[in-house]
Structure 1
C-alpha cells in the first residue's frame, strides 16, 4: 500500500509539473491558457490548410518543421476534421469565414490539444504570426537549421493573440557599412519571427549610396564606393589624393525586388529611406552640382570626421553634405530617384530623412538667400520646410506618403507627413498635437546601436541603452490620443557595425524586449517575467546560430561622493543575482565579500572588481575599475 501511495504521489507531482511548466513566448501573447497534456509531432502528422490563401504559410510551416526533424512534411489543402473534431496528429490552418473583429488583420487563435493543433485567423498574416508562436512551443531544437534530436512535443494551450500597434519596426543602416543581400534577408527573417512587420531600410547617407538608380548611374558607380579604412568611425583618415575607393557595394534593382518579395512572404513591409537634404555626401560625390558649394573634390566619406558637434544638438559641417534647396535641378534629380524607388517598393511610405541638415552653406549661398527673400522666409529652417514640402509633392505624384525624422517639424511640416520621433518623444508629441501620425523611436530607448553594457566591457559608444530601459519603453505619451501613434521601432545604425554577427549582437536581446513593447498589451509588461522568456530565447538563438548579447547579466557600478568619501553602488539588471566584489587586487568569486550595501572606496591605488553569480556559478562578466575610473562616474 505504501508503494502505491508513493507511486500516486510521484504521478501527481510529475503531472502537476507538466501542467505548470511555463510557456515562454516572445512577444507575450494577449491571452494564454495552459492546458493539460502535450501534442506530439511525428512522421505521420498531417499539415493542412483550408483555403488557397493559406497555402504559403502552411508550406513554410511544413518546411520549418521538417528541417530539424527530418520528417519531410508536405502541406496539403483540405480539412482534416470530422465535424468539430480534428484528426489525430493533425495541424490545421484555416481562415475565418466570419472575420473576428478582435483579431483584426494580424491576430490569430491557436489551440494545441493532445490530438491536434488548430490555428485560425482572419488573414494569412495572422496565420503567419500564429505559426511563429507554434514554433516557439516546440523544444528549442526546432530552431535548428540542420537535423537535430529532440522529443518533438508542444504543451497543450489555448492562445488568443493580436498586436497592440500596427507599426512594429526595425531599421537597418546599410550605408555606413554595406550588408550583402543574403545578410539582409537573414535579418528580415529573424525580425519577422518576432512579429515585427516593418523593415526600415536606410539606403543612403554620407558613407554610401546603396540602391541602383538606372537614370542616374553615377550614384552607384561613384556613390557606392569609398576608400577602405579600419578603426573607430569618426576618427579615420580622410581619402588621400588618388586613393582608390574599393570598399562598398550596392543593391541592383533585381536584388531589391528579390528582397521585397522575400519580406512580403514574411508579412514584412520594407520602408526605404533616401536621406535628404542633409546626409547626402555620397550623392554629392557623384553629382557635386547638387550642392551649394559644387565642390568636385567631394568624396564618399570613409568614416573620417567632417563636423564639429557642440553638445547642445547644434553642429558645424566642414564639408558640404547638403542638397541645394534653391536649385530646380535638385528637384529634377529627386524626381528621378523617387520615380525608380517608388516602382521598386510597393508599400505606401518612402522615408525622406530630413535629419541633421546643416544649413551653414545655405546661409552663404546667393541662390538660397534669393529664394528666402522671394518666399518671405525669416530663417534657413524655413528653407528645409520648403524643401520637404516639395519632396512630399514629388512622392504624392508617385502615389507615396512622406515619412521623415522629427526635424521635418522645423520650418513648417509638410501637410500630410508622418513623423518618426527620434530626439526623445517631444517631436512625436508635437506632431500628434498637430494631427500628424507618429512612429515613436526615441534614441534613449530604442537606438540599439548604443552600448548595452559597461563601456569597459563593450566597445565604447557615446551613450547607453540598457535592455531593461528598452523593455520599459512606452510609445504612447500621457495626454496623447493613441490614434496618432502608429507604433514604434528599433534603430540599428552601423557606424561601428560591419558584420551581420555584430548586428545581431547589438539587436538581441533588445529587439526581443521591444517585440513585447510593440505587440503585447501594455498591462502585461513584467520585467521579472520577461527574464525567463529571454533566457528561453537564448537557447533558441543558439540552435539557430543567431548571435546575441548577455550584458544584462553583467554587474553595474555607479558612484557618488558623500562629503570627501567615494561610494560605489553595485547592481544588475537581472533580478536575484548574487554580486561579489573585491578591492584587495584578488579575483572576486563566491567566497569574496557579497554585496549588500554601498561600498566606500578607500584612497590610494585601489581597483574594484565585481562579478555576478547565480546558483553558485558565475553568470556575468567581471568588471574591473580603478579608483580614477570610479571617480569619473560620480554623478
Structure 2
C-alpha cells in the first residue's frame, strides 16, 4: 500500500489536543502532577482505584492458578519475566491457601458479565496479588498490566540488583473496547526473519494487541512457500539489494545478483502461528492481488495479461508506477494478475487452499488495492471478458475478479478481507473491508453493512515520518503522535456492530532492519492501542503523554528503540506584509521551552528562548532549534535550511 501523493510531503499535525471537561487544556505539568507515576498503564484501563501501601515481591515468588492447564501460557510468561529481571526464584503451587503464595491467577467459576472474554480484574494488596478473568486471554492481559505496575527495571533482559520490587496497591477493572486490535507488518519490501517476527509479536502483546496482519506478498517478493508453485520462492522471494530512497533506485543490471530477500517455509509459518497463539495473538495472512503481484508474475509470467511479462523481474525498488494522476496509478510494467485468465483462478485456488490449511484465523486478506488498469484497457482478453460478463468499467472488471476470488476463499471455510478500493467494483456484501484511504471509505463500507477494520492512513500509517521532513527519511507524509492519538476507530454515523476494530499499518519500503521497525512503531503504537482498547471517554492527551514518558524509560530498559520526535518543535512559516519570513514554533507537549539560533551555532538553554514568531534575518542560511524541559534538553537538535522555509512559505 502506498500513499497516493508520493511527491507531496504532507505534514499531518494536529491542533486539537485532548480537552478537560470544562474545555480548557491541562498543562503537561498539571497532568503529571495528578498522575501517580507508579501507575502508568498503557492502554489506559477502564477503572483504577488506587489504594494506600505497596506489595513487595519476596525472593521466593509462588504463583497459584485454580485451573493451571488453562492459564499455563500466562504462568510461564510471568515466571520468565519476573525471574529474568529480579533473579528471584519463581515457582508454582497447587495449594490456594499456601502461606507463601504471591500471585493468584483465577478463572471465574461464574461468568463476570462486565469484563467479558478478554477483560480482567487485578487486585494488589500489601499481602497478595490476584488476577481474575473469565477466560485465559483475560488472565494474560492482567499479567501485562501487573508487569507495568512493577518498577521499569522489570523490562530488563538481565538481572537487576539492589532494587526493591514494590508494586502500588490498587484495584483495576479492565476490558477492551474492540475485539480487533491489530498491527500490520510488511515483511515483503524488506524481509524479516522468523525470530524478528517473534520479537515484533512480543512487543505487540505488552500493549494488548491481539492481531498480526502479515503482509506476505507484493511486487518486491513472495514470502510464503506454496507447494506446487516452487518458483514463487525460488524466483519470487529474491531481488537485488539496494539502499537509499526506495522507489527511485537505479534499475538492476542483468548480471547483478538476486540474492536479497527470503521466505518462510510452511513449517516456519506453523511455528509463528503457535508462538503467537501462546500470546493470544491471531495471525491473518495477506496475499495482495490482483495488483502488487510482480513477484508472482516474475515467477509465473503466464498469470499476466501482458506478453512482455516473460521479461519481468522481481522489483528491487526501481520506479514501476507513474503516480502523477493519483490512484489508480499508471503502470510502467503490468504488475497485475489477469482477471480474464483462467490459469489465475487455478493458481489462486491452490494458494488459498494452503493458506486456509495453515492459518486458523477466520479471515484471509486478499489485497485488492492500487491495481493499475492501463494494461487491462488495451488487452483483447479483457475486452472479451467485459462483453461476455456485461462489465462497463475497469473497477467492474476488478469487481468480477474479487467476486470469483471470494468464492474460492469461502470454499475453504474462510472469510475474505480486502482493502477499500474493492468497494468500487460491485463486490459482495460478505466481503470484509479494511479501510486505508480515508475514514470516509470505512464509513461507506459500514453503512452498506460490510464488516470493517479501520486503519486510515491519515491516523495509523506507521511508515510515515514522525516529525518534520528535515529530521526523518522522506516517506510520503508526516504523522505525529498527537495526530495518531486522535484516531477514532468507530466513526460517527455508523452502526458499531459493523466495526470489527482497528489497527496500525507498518509498510517497510524505507525500513531496512528490525531496529528501524521499533523506531517507527513506538510510541505511536501506544496511541493506537489506547484507541482500540480504552474507553473513548477516558482518552486524554496530556495524561497519555505523561504515561508515555514513563514508558520511554521502560523501552530503554528493554533495549527497544523508539522515536522522541514528540519533543521536536513544529515549524509554521508565512510571509509578512513586507515579505519577510515569519516562523512560528510550537510543540505537541506543553511546558517545553524552545531555544534557537540563526548564526549556525548549536543553541542550548543559554541561547535566545522562543517567545514570539521569528523574523528570519536577511542573510541567514540556517535556523537551528532545540527543546528543553527546565535545564534538560529533551528534543533533537533540528537544522532547518532557510531555503526550505522559503519553499514552504511560497513565492515572494
Listed as ranges, the gaps of 5+ residues in structure 1 are 1-16, 82-86
Asked if 2 retains the 8 angstrom alpha-carbon contact of 1:609 and 1:623, the reply is yes
1:210 is matched with 223
Structure 1 residue aligned with 2:269, among 246, 256, 265? Answer: 256
Are 1:188 and 2:205 counterparts?
no
TM-superposition CA deviations, 1:215-251 (whole Å, max 9, x none)? 2111101100112222211111223224331111000
What is the alpha-carbon distance in structure 2 between the residues aligned to residue 89 and residue 497 of structure 1?
46
Deviations 1:191-212 (A, max 9, x none): 0111000000000000000000
Structure 2 counterpart of 1:321, from 335, 356, 363: 335
Q: 1:567 aligns with which of 579, 582, 588?
A: 582
- Contact 1:55-1:77 at 8 Å conserved across structures: no
For 1:281 and 1:506, the matched residues in 2 are separated by: 27
Task: Give the secondary structure class of the aligned counterpart of 1:596.
Answer: coil
CA distance in 2, matches of 1:558, 1:313: 29
Q: Which residue of 2 aligns with 1:47?
A: 63
Contact 1:348 1:401 in 2 (8 A): yes
Q: Does the 8 Å CA contact 1:112/1:157 hold for their aligned counterparts?
A: yes
Which whole-Å CA distance do the structure 1 matches of 2:34 and 2:621 have between them? 51
Aligned CA distance change for structure 1 residues 589 and 18 (closer, same or farther; 3 Å): closer
Match for residue 494 of structure 2 among 477, 480, 486: 480
For residues 574 and 490 of structure 2, the distance between their equivalents in structure 1, rounded to whole angstroms, comes to: 34
Distance 1:41 1:89 in 2: 11
Tell me which of 132, 145, 148 is aligned to 1:133.
145
Whole-angstrom CA distance in 2 between matches of 1:411 and 1:129: 40
Shift in Å, 1:19: 11
**When the two structures are superposed, what TM-score results if normalisation uses the length of structure 1?**
0.94
Maintained 8 Å contact 1:50/1:94: yes
Partners of 1:583 and 1:195 lie apart in 2 by 46
Secondary structure of 1:410 counterpart: helix
In structure 2, C-alpha distance between the alignment counterparts of 1:131 and 1:402, rounded to whole Å: 33
**Displacement of 1:29:** 0.5
The answer to whether the aligner puts 1:601 opposite 2:632 as a matched pair is no
**Alignment correspondent of 2:24:** none
Say whether the 8 Å CA contact 1:39–1:115 is kept in structure 2.
yes
Match of 2:164 in 1: 151
Mapping of residues 553-632 of structure 1, within 5 Å: 553-563=567-577, 564-632=579-647
Number of the residue aligned with 2:297:
284
Check whether the contact 2:122–2:129 (CA below 8 A) recurs between aligned residues: yes
Give the match for residue 119 of structure 2: 107
Aligned equivalents of 1:191, 1:151: Cα separation in 2 = 28
Residue 383 of structure 1: aligned partner: 397
Aligned equivalent of 2:134: 122
Q: Secondary structure at the match of 1:320?
A: coil
Q: CA deviation at 1:21?
A: 5.2
C-alpha distance 543-368 of structure 1, shift in aligned 2 (>3 A) = same
Q: Distance in 1 between matches of 2:76 and 2:346?
A: 45
- 2:50 is the counterpart of 1:25: no
1:67 aligns with 2:79: no
> Offset at 1:606?
4.1
User: Which one of the candidate residues 469, 473, 481 is aligned to 1:467?
Assistant: 481
Deviates more, 1:476-485 or 1:373-382: 476-485
2:63–2:101 CA contact under 8 A, matched in 1: no
Q: CA deviation at 1:385?
A: 0.5
Find the residue that maps to 1:530 and give its secondary structure: helix
Q: Which residue of 1 aligns with 2:107?
A: 95
Pairing 1:406–2:420 present? yes
Is 1:229 the counterpart of 2:242? The answer is: yes
Distance 1:626 1:192, change over 3 A: same
Shift of 1:549: 0.6
Q: Secondary structure at the match of 2:202?
A: helix
Query: How far apart in 1 are the matches of 2:228 and 2:348?
Result: 11
Out of 186, 190, 201, the residue aligned to residue 214 of structure 2 is: 201
Q: Judge conservation of contact 2:73–2:279 (CA < 8 Å) in 1.
A: no
1:497-536 to structure 2, matched below 5 A, reads: 497-536=511-550
The one of 377, 382, 392 equivalent to 1:363 is 377
Distance 1:59 1:22 in 2: 25
> Any stretches of 5+ residues in structure 2 without a counterpart?
1-32
Q: Deviations over 1:232-278 (max 9, x none)?
A: 11111223224331111000001000000000000001010000000
Per the TM alignment, residue 498 of structure 1 is displaced from its structure 2 partner at its CA by 1.3
Matched residues in 1 for 2:394 and 2:474: separation?
35
- Partner SS state of residue 581, structure 2: strand
* Corresponding pairs, count: 614
Does the Cα contact within 8 Å between 2:235 and 2:298 map onto a contact in 1? Answer: yes
Distance in 2 between the 1:585 and 1:190 partners? 40
Q: Tell which deviates more after alignment, 585-594 or 613-622.
A: 585-594
Output the CA distance in 1 between the equivalents of 2:608 and 2:157.
Answer: 44
Give how far 1:79 is off. Answer: 2.0
Contact 1:48–1:80 (8 Å) recurs in 2: no
SS in 1 for 2:70: helix
Structure 1 runs (4+) deviating above 6 angstroms are none
Equivalent position of 1:171 in the other structure: 184
User: Deviation of residue 457 (structure 1)?
Assistant: 1.6
CA distance in 2, matches of 1:513, 1:629: 30
Residue 581 of structure 1 contacts residue 608 of structure 1 at CA under 8 Å; is this kept in 2?
yes
The answer on 1:423 being equivalent to 2:451 is no
The SS at the match of 1:74 is strand
Superposition deviation, residue 366 in structure 1? 1.2
The C-alpha deviation readout for 1:303-345, integer Å capped at 9, x for no partner, is 1011111153342111110000011110000000011111110
Q: Distance in 2 between matches of 1:116 and 1:347?
A: 37
Distance 2:333 2:430 in 1: 32
SS in 1 for 2:604: coil
Superposed CA RMSD: 1.6
